[in-house]
Amino acid sequence: MADMREPIESGCPDPWQYLHPTMRKNFGQWKYHEHPRPGVLLHVAYSGDKIWTVKAGTQRILDVFTLRKLCDIGDQFADGYVHFTLRSNIEYMVNDETKVQPLIDALEGAGFVVGGTQNSVAMISHTQGWLHCDIPGTDASGVVKSMMDELIDEFRNANMPNRVHITTSCCQINCGGQGDIAINIQHTKPPKINHDLVANVCERPSVVARCPVAAIRPAMVNGKPSLEVDERKCICCGACYPPCPPMQINDAEHSKLAIWVGGNHSNARGKPTFQKLVAAGIPNNPPRWPEATAIVKRILKAYKEGARDWERVNEWIERIGWPRFFEEVELPFTKYHIDTWRGARASFNSSTYIRF
């Protein structure tokens, strides 16, 4: 194309070349959009042009054969333009309504699930897990696969009070994010230090500086430079492990899962909110993680039955109150829900009165 910028050695390629021609023609000139059915969006421009988007869920880690299959479907049944979303869904754009149903049939015939739009359970956003991450405490990809197998009907249909974003990550410090429901790793024991390797592998001042609660300090062990951890201060976050692998914190028995709820980036009807801990010490139990999946399903069931139309999870909890929430989802209120960390002065909860 004549109007493309000159290629450069870094940064993202110009996205303009990948947009559907109808999208390029009407860029910034969309009048409204509709939701004809789950998994399909219709955008109408001021010019009268229309474009349909068909969304299908895929796994996060895609092999080349699956990618080719998805591209072949796009070439044969769509207009050859696709878009991958943050949550690993693929979207096909077509400007002819008669192409929508054959495209859906082709995707479902190939084993992909069309859905994930409007008030559905969106695909779980997650990190790589055991396959790629260098510090995983669990396999985020495996957790997502197990949970989405159970929640596939909520992805395929749009029956929730509002859209539900679920996130997970394989460690406690790097990836993940605020979500209506978040499944995160929870380390429960301080790191075990291999003192023979620290001096050769770790840059000790950087590791000391990395600790958010100043629980790590230099030490000499068996005549070698090493590190030591003040276990009274340690919050078991695992921040020391990435720059210093000899400070191993992942443990098959003591690395658990925790579930948080109520996170929300949007400020459409209220302020953004942080997620809150509701279940701790859940067994990190591959390959299917049944305990964590059961709790997520209970939370979604209570939300689906009790929330008003268009209430997000955090708005539903704020309306009914935290005591009622714990009753509805049949989760115990434990000492882990009381915020006693010395740095949390702004949200300090030191009694059984729940004052999130």
The confidence score (pLDDT) of residue 337 equals 77
**Does residue 211 share a domain with residue 165?**
no
As a three-state string, the secondary structure of 41-74 is EEEEECCCCEEEEEEEECCCCCCHHHHHHHHHHH
CB 95 within 8 A of CB 48: no
Which residue from 49, 67, 47 is spatially nearest to 58, judged by alpha carbons? 67
Residue 297 lies in a domain: yes
Say yes or no: 259 and 173 in one domain. Answer: yes
- Tell me the CATH number at 20: 3.30.70.3340
DSSP state of 305: H
Instruction: Answer with the one of 88, 114, 140 that is the final residue of a domain.
Output: 114
Query: What's the start-to-end Cα distance of the chain, in Å?
Result: 55
The reply to whether 133 and 208 lie within a common domain is no
Cβ atoms of residues 79 and 120 within 8 Å: no
- pLDDT at residue 93, as a whole number: 96
Q: Quick check: is 30 in a domain?
A: yes
Domain with 175 in it: what CATH number?
A: 3.30.413.10
Q: What is the mean pLDDT of residues 308-313?
A: 93
Single out the residue of 297, 329, 37 nearest to residue 156, CA to CA: 37
For 109-142, the pLDDT digits (tens) are 999 999 999 999 999 988 777 877 878 888 888 8
Q: How far from the centroid of its chain's Cα atoms is residue 22's Cα?
A: 31
* Domain assignment present for 344: no
Residue 121, domain member (yes or no): no
Query: Is the backbone peptide bond immediately before 102 cis, with ω within 30 degrees of 0?
Result: no
In a domain? residue 3: no
Shared domain for 169 and 279, answered yes or no, is: yes
**What phi, psi does 232 have (nearest 5°)?**
-70, -30
What does the angle CA 132 – CA 86 – CA 286 come to, to the nearest 5 degrees?
45
Quickly tell me which residue has 């055991």 as its tokens: 130
Is residue 25 located within the same domain as residue 101? yes
d(CA 227, CA 247): 9
Task: Point out which residues pair with 50 in neighbouring strands.
Answer: 44
What is the pLDDT at residue 61?
80
Do 227 and 204 share a structural domain? yes
Q: 273 and 150, same structural domain?
A: yes
CA distance 18 to 15: 5
Structural domain contains residue 155: yes
Same domain, 100 and 176: no
pLDDT at 349 over 60: no
What's the farthest any 2 CA atoms get from each other in the chain?
78
Listed range (114-128, 166-180, 324-338) with the worst mean pLDDT: 166-180
Token readout for 138 is: 């669990």
Q: Provide the domain count of the chain.
A: 3
Same-domain status, 325 and 210: no
The token duo for 298 is 């209970």
120 assigned to some structural domain: no
For 238-274, the pLDDT digits (tens) are: 999 999 999 999 998 999 999 999 988 877 777 888 8
pLDDT higher than 50, residue 37: yes
- Gap between the Cα atoms of 238 and 249, Å rounded: 6
Q: How far apart, in whole angstroms, are the C-alpha atoms of residue 277 and residue 181?
A: 10
Same domain, 174 and 260: yes
**For residues 243 and 192, what is the distance between their CA atoms, to the nearest angstrom?**
14
**97 and 138 within one domain:** no
In whole angstroms, what is the distance from residue 340 CA to residue 87 CA?
34
CA 296/CA 93 separation, integer angstroms: 33
25 falls within a domain: yes
pTM of the full structure: 0.87
Fill in the DSSP letter of residue 186.
Answer: E
CATH number at residue 229: 3.30.70.20
- State residue 341's pLDDT score: 57
Same structural domain, 40 and 160: no
Q: Which two tokens stand for residue 217?
A: 């300090």
Quote the domain boundaries for residue 215: 192-248
